[in-house]
Amino acid sequence: MGAQRRPWRPFAIFLAVLALAGCGDGRYPPLSPMAQAGGYGYADKPLGGERYTVSYVGPSRLSSSAPAARDRDAAAARTEALDLAIWRAAQLAQGAGFEGFRVIGQSSTVDVAAQPTYYDQQFYGPFGSNVGRGGIIRPPSVGTTAPMSYPESPTDRLQGRASVDIELLRNPGPNDLIAKDVIDQLRTKYPDAEKG
């Protein structure tokens, strides 16, 4: 008697692989080095002495292209980029054995790009302009391309960017930032920033 085939087995293996693939999407957490995450993250640049520039580029996000919604989402992206740059500055201070730091310069911006929306004006299925006399669908002419239309997109893609110049301090003053306090506050505000 031969081995019994189990037709469900390949399907079960496929489902198991799919479930394992869904466990992690391969993305890095927002508070990751730019060199690791690619299109977002932080980068540090020494300026000499105890001074550094910390740059942060946020992950891109979709927003409505309606002005009020886009402005609200852009403000949130700009704030998040600046906060995560400050968070990284606090990590840098702690890692170097300093209690705090002073921000001596900062800038932030948001890149806005319309999400393209494409559709073919010549394709409307069996009831559109490709239908000829008697309901016969006309094939497109050989060697021609149907005109494409690019209507205004209902969504925009936003990406916040920030840069802070800092000076590391062993004994921060009353107007300076304490690294531990900054990290604790921003970890509460952005609980997923360190999670993948």
Judge if 67 and 136 occupy the same domain. no
Model confidence at 155, pLDDT cuts 50, 70, 90, reads: confident
CA dihedral of 129, 135, 141, 144, whole degrees rounded to 10: 20
CA dihedral 10→12→18→22, nearest 10 degrees, is -170
> Same domain for 81 and 39?
yes
Segment 163-189 shows an average pLDDT of 97
- 97 and 37 in one domain? yes
Q: By the 8 A CB rule, do 122 and 161 touch? A: no
Half-sphere exposure of 96 (CA within 13 A, CB side): 21
194 assigned to some structural domain? no
Look at residue 150 in the predicted model and tell me its pLDDT.
47
- Shared domain for 135 and 58, answered yes or no, is no
Q: Compute CA distances 129 → 11, 64, 149, whole Å.
A: 43, 31, 15
Q: Decide if 18 is inside a domain.
A: no
Residue type, 103: V
- pLDDT of residue 188 exceeding 90: yes
Q: What three-state secondary structure class fits 151?
A: coil
pTM of the predicted model, to two decimals? Answer: 0.70
Question: What's the number of domains the chain is made of?
Answer: 2
DSSP 45-111: EEEETTEEEEEEEPPPEEEESSHHHHHHHHHHHHHHHHHHHHHHHHHHHHHTT-SEEEEEEEEEEEE
* Stretch (H or E) spanning 34: helix 34-37
- Domain co-membership, 143 together with 65: no
Tens digit of pLDDT for each residue in 136-145?
A: 444 555 555 5
Residues 108 and 164 in one domain: yes
| Domain of residue 128, residue span | 119-151
Residue 87 and residue 47 share a domain: yes
- Would residue 22 count as lying in a domain? no
Determine the Cα–Cα distance for residues 136 and 126; give it in Å rounded to an integer. 8
Rounded mean pLDDT of the chain?
Answer: 79
